[in-house]
């Protein structure tokens, strides 16, 4: 089956109830349109792809994602500031754009099957996406100013929301039924050749960007007690070098140089029982934080207590990397001890990372992966931090006004209609009280 559409969006931490609501409403709209179009006859309806619903527990998420992107009829991109800061969303965008380009080269037809939906206002569209027209007069002034997400929050069953869903469904129906763009073979989103047109994780940081490195590692004295190779330890935890067979440079220094090359101001500290306070202060100052964790150190005090508290706290703007050497990456006794230590110290982050294309807990990272992993998680942690701070600011400034009255509906707004000549597919619902703004903090791509 070909998914009727692929919903591409920035995967935030926390509830995704509004994304799921839009997905369900759009699916219901399309089913009714198809029944009417085919005069009531049953027609195959390739289940539209939504990652949290379409990828089953235990399934290879990358294979499932690639298969859906390679065969879907259309792709809907939910525009948000986070979407255009997401490396993985950029990869999804490129994969589908490549399919459209190939279809155009083979058939001479521009399918226009990549359909933008303005979910939240976006100030700057990257040049790689600027050629796609996303603003439409038919969608109304509120849509252009506030985005569909806020219209949905203001009045979930309202006429304006239903009208916009109807218009999106029409665009999707036309592209899916009339063009059927060619599938892709051997699609892989993880390789460097799959990087999308959005700013990459390794691009220069914004002026004034700060990063905090927090090291949890043993010293050479501690390592000797455990009869562990002392070659990767020194007098301080910041001397730890898990890749000492390849380089004499401590990991914290390597990470500092990588981030300073991008324009970050970097500060390094050792993980302590004051970790939560340190992270709160960093967040308040707009600093992204990265924990560099030695698995063996994470399993014992003084670090285990601090790391488990961090694991429960879900600090916005932070990430953790747990490097490993080749022996720890294998199936032997050291490998088993490594993975048990990671799961034991950071169980919640371990569970949250299942199925995430880019989890904020990165474990099993070898020397050849470290640089790219550091850049990627810093970019994602920055996005989370920006989203958290923006949401906090908007909640403080706008929540009283949002919760007292629904968004005004334009007097010139057309009633729901179908350009296929069909009756409006979504039945009118009684106007419901304004939903409180839920706090969504990502994820992803």
pLDDT score for 52: 55
Residue that terminates a domain, selected from 355, 389, 423 = 389
Q: Where are the alpha helices (DSSP H) in 86-189?
A: 87-107, 141-146, 148-154, 159-178
Alpha carbons 231 and 318: distance in angstroms, whole number: 29
Residue 134 counted as domain residue: yes
CA angle 157/158/161 to nearest 5° reads: 95
Residue 381 counted as domain residue: yes
Highest mean pLDDT among 66-75, 223-232, 321-330: 66-75
- Closest alpha carbon to 177 in 105, 112, 94, 104: 112
Is residue 104 located within the same domain as residue 71? yes
Residue 417 counted as domain residue: no
Residue 165 counted as domain residue: yes
- Closest alpha carbon to 288 in 392, 381, 383: 381
Is residue 280 located within the same domain as residue 362? yes
pLDDT score for 407: 43
372-393 per-position pLDDT tens digit: 889 888 988 888 888 887 777 6
Is residue 13 located within the same domain as residue 44? yes
Alpha carbons 444 and 13: distance in angstroms, whole number: 8
User: What is the DSSP secondary-structure string of 262-291?
Assistant: TT-EEEEEE--TTHHHHHHHHHHTT-EEEE
* Range 170-183 average pLDDT: 89
Residue that terminates a domain, selected from 389, 411, 438 = 389
Residue 409 has pLDDT above 50, yes or no: no
Average pLDDT, the chain: 81
Is residue 80 located within the same domain as residue 145? yes
287-312 per-position pLDDT tens digit: 999 999 999 999 888 899 999 999 99
Is residue 350 located within the same domain as residue 378? yes
pLDDT score for 434: 39
Residue 435 counted as domain residue: no
Is residue 267 located within the same domain as residue 168? no
> How many separate domains does the chain show?
2
Residue 426 counted as domain residue: no
- Closest alpha carbon to 54 in 258, 255, 355: 355
Residue that terminates a domain, selected from 155, 171, 199 = 199
Residue length, the chain? 445
Is residue 190 located within the same domain as residue 253? no
CATH of the domain at 343: 3.40.50
For residue 306, what are the domain limits? Answer: 210-389
What dihedral do alpha carbons 123, 126, 129, 133 form, nearest 10°?
30
Alpha carbons 245 and 122: distance in angstroms, whole number: 46
Is residue 147 located within the same domain as residue 260? no
Q: 396 with 437: CB under 8 angstroms?
A: no
Is residue 233 located within the same domain as residue 190? no
Residue 394 has pLDDT above 70, yes or no: no
Rg, C-alpha atoms of the chain: 24
CA 198 remoteness from chain centre: 13
pTM of this structure: 0.53
Residue 172 counted as domain residue: yes
Highest mean pLDDT among 269-273, 281-285, 330-334, 410-414: 269-273
Alpha carbons 441 and 349: distance in angstroms, whole number: 15
Residue 124 has pLDDT above 80, yes or no: no
Is residue 85 located within the same domain as residue 104? yes
Q: Where are the alpha helices (DSSP H) in 108-242?
A: 141-146, 148-154, 159-178, 220-225
Is residue 239 located within the same domain as residue 105? no
pLDDT score for 225: 64
Tokens of 344: 């034991």
Alpha carbons 400 and 394: distance in angstroms, whole number: 10
pLDDT score for 157: 87
pLDDT score for 73: 93
Cα–Cα distances in angstroms (integers) from residue 38 to residues 28, 44, 175, in the given order: 16, 11, 16
Is residue 129 located within the same domain as residue 252? no
Residue 355 counted as domain residue: yes
pLDDT score for 13: 44
E strand or H helix at 61: helix 61-71
Q: 84 with 46: CB under 8 angstroms?
A: no
Residue 216, SS3? strand
Cis omega before residue 302 (within 30°)?
A: yes
């Amino acid at each position: 089956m070909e998914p009727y559409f692929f919903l591409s969006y920035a995967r935030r931490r926390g509830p995704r109830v509004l994304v799921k609501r839009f997905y369900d409403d759009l699916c219901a709209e399309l089913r009714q349109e198809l029944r009417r179009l085919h005069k009531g006859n049953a027609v195959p309806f390739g289940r539209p792809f939504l990652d949290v619903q379409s990828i089953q527990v235990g399934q290879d998420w990358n294979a499932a994602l690639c298969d859906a992107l390679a065969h879907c009829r259309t792709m809907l991109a939910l525009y948000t500031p986070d979407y255009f800061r997401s490396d993985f969303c950029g990869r999804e965008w490129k994969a589908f754009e490549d399919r459209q380009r190939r279809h155009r080269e083979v058939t001479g037809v521009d399918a226009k099957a990549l359909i933008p939906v303005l979910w939240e206002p976006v100030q700057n569209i990257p040049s790689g996406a600027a050629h796609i027209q996303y603003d439409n007069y038919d969608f109304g002034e509120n849509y252009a100013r506030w985005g569909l997400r806020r219209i949905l929050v203001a009045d979930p069953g309202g006429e304006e929301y239903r009208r916009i869903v109807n218009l999106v469904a029409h665009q999707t129906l036309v592209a899916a039924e009339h063009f059927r763009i060619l599938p892709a073979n051997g699609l892989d989103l993880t390789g460097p050749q799959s990087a999308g047109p959005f700013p990459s994780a390794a691009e220069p940081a914004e002026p004034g960007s700060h990063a905090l490195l927090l090291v949890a590692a043993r010293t050479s004295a501690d390592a000797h007690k455990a009869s562990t190779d002392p070659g990767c330890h020194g007098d301080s935890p910041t001397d730890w070098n898990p890749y000492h067979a390849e380089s004499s440079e401590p990991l914290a220094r390597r990470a500092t140089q990588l981030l300073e090359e991008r324009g970050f101001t970097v500060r390094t500290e050792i993980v302590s029982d004051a970790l939560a306070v340190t992270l709160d202060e960093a967040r308040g100052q707009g600093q992204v934080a990265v924990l560099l964790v030695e698995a063996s150190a994470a399993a014992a005090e003084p670090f285990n207590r601090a790391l488990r508290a961090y694991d429960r706290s879900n600090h916005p703007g932070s990430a953790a990397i747990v490097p490993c050497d080749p022996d720890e990456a294998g199936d032997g006794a050291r490998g088993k001890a490594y993975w048990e230590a990671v799961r034991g110290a950071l169980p919640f982050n371990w569970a949250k990372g299942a199925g995430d294309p880019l989890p904020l807990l990165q474990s099993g990272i070898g020397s050849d992966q470290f640089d790219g992993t550091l850049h990627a998680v810093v970019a994602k942690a920055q996005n989370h931090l920006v989203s958290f701070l923006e949401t906090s600011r908007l909640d403080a400034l706008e929540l009283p006004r949002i919760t007292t009255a629904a968004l005004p509906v334009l007097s010139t707004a057309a009633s729901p209609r179908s350009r296929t000549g069909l009756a409006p597919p979504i039945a009118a619902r009684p106007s419901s009280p304004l939903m409180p703004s839920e706090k969504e903090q990502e994820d992803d791509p």
